[in-house]
Amino acid sequence: MEKLKTKHTWMNQFSAKSKGIVGVHILLFVVILFIHDLDYSAKVSLFAFLSAMTLWVSTKIPAGYVALALIVFIIIMKAEGPELLYHSLSEEVVWLMVGSFIVGEAVKQSGLARRLTLSILRKSNSKNNVLLGMTSVLFTSAFFVPSTSGRAAIAMPIINQLGQKFSVNEKSVLAILAPVIILMSTSATLIGAGSHLIGVSLLESTVGETISYIQWFVWGVPFAIVITLVSYVVIKWLLWPKDGMGQIENIQIEEQAMHTKKMNSQEKKTVLLLVLLIVGWMTESIHGYDIAFVTMIGAIIVMLPNYGILNWKTGMKSVSWNLIVFVAAATALGRVLVDTGVVTWIEKEMLSVLQLFVLAPEWLIVFIILFVTVTSHLYITSHTTRAVVFIPSLLLFSETIGIDPTTVVFLSLIGMNYCVTVPVSSKALLLFYEEGESSYDAKKLIKISTLLMPLYILVMMLFYFTYWQWMGIRL
């Protein structure tokens, strides 16, 4: 009896949630164990990947820690060599994000962020004009800061400064509006999110097709403008205080003087650098250097001793290394499924199911792609992971039923850019959610998403059957 009681007490130390997670892992182990078409390495890799998915969705363990630990698990189990860990840091998206954080910090440190704030306030005589001005600035930032979290970091001082002219309730809406606009404007450019580069890379390696910077620009900008305006209207309508669109106080004399003051040398250097970066990104097909490499050149110039905008230490501190490690490890977890043959096995098993959609009408196929990708943020919190998980499967889907893979990848990546329901689904949302001076209630995000999510799918459907088809995007 004493032993039974001790055992019962030991079991009670675990919550129902913990027991459920352990149960899921046991079930995964048993199911994978009896898949005879997979070899040992494939089974270990599949178990590690599904374990990571379970832990990301159901626990508060840092996502980077989970991904890194499971990469190490795969290596310890002799399913892959240590190169899996080492090579994960060589991914293009990793170096793009490192460079983007450093360039974003330069924009902030040089004083450009403050100048933009004063530019918004100087001619604004109403709060409505201020909101429109802020929305325009945040939308434009998508073209020269290739990271949603980097843009959020730049936006933070702007929002905090603007917040001084608003009430407490209005400031909380600003803290939601800023990251949502940042996320919606992501679709305007190929460099707007790391997931775009991952998706295009998988498209190139799988079917030999690609989407250039210019192509994405032509396809993405009109949609991004429309969905940004829709989001702006929805947030104002649902959250903004009804009597909160009155006049705003004029900015102080010293702020006006600072605005009229000419740019200093640091600001001029930053503007010149941003122009050169945009030119470099847009002319990739001419010079042959990818977007990540061009961004790193910009980061090196930013930290140039004696002549740069930041010193080395400040530049390194500006990088979110937690996010970098997560992106590297999560990408490696997705790629190991290809290397060990898991994806090939999935393709074989899915073939018979996918054949059911061969005769489906075009609108239904488009809707299925959009519904799956737009709602994916509810159960896969990482933007990058969503691309790693879904793009290979959707490419297989396109090959199986004979539709254009480039169109499928583009629609899927635009769909995955929606992640507005919960703070954890986006680093930009999380940054403002955790910010003490400008923060918001998570319940307001759910309120917005109940209307904005179906509108997002609807706008995408309308664009597909009108503008995008006119531009050559067709299944």
The answer to whether position 5 is within a domain reads no
Tell me which H or E stretch contains 251: none
- pLDDT score at 413: 92
Residues whose CB falls within 8 Å of the CB of residue 437, separated by 6 or more in sequence, listed in order: 160, 163
Is 10 inside a domain boundary?
A: no
Number of structural domains, the chain?
1
Tokens of 297: 């050149």
**Residue 187, domain extent:** 16-470
pLDDT in tens, 62-80: 777 888 899 999 999 988 8
- pLDDT tens digits for range 277-307: 878 876 776 887 877 788 889 889 989 888 8
* Whole-number pLDDT of residue 121: 64
Confirm whether 28 is domain-assigned.
Answer: yes
DSSP, collapsed to helix, strand or coil, labels residue 82 as: coil
Q: What is the pLDDT of residue 229?
A: 92
Do residues 39 and 327 lie in contact, with contact meaning Cβ atoms separated by under 8 Å?
A: no
Q: How far apart are CA 146 and CA 304, in angstroms?
A: 21
Residue 11 lies in a domain: no
In a domain, 4, yes or no: no
Domain contains 8: no
Q: Which residues contact 61 (CB under 8 A, 6 or more apart)?
A: 55
Query: Which residues of the chain are modeled with pLDDT < 70?
Result: 1-15, 57, 93, 113-114, 116-126, 145-147, 149-150, 153-154, 157, 160-165, 167-168, 242-261, 282, 285, 323, 343, 346-358, 379-381, 424, 430-431, 433-442
- pLDDT in the model for residue 307: 81
Give residue 291's pLDDT: 74
Residue 181 lies in a domain: yes
Token digits of residue 427: 């680093």
In angstroms, rounded to a whole number, what is the distance separating the alpha carbons of residues 129 and 121?
9
pLDDT at 380: 67
pLDDT of 254 reads 47
Answer for the pair 309, 109: CB distance below 8 angstroms, yes or no.
yes
The DSSP string of 391-405 is: HHHHHHHHHHHT--H
The answer to whether residue 9 sits within a structural domain is: no
The model's pTM: 0.67
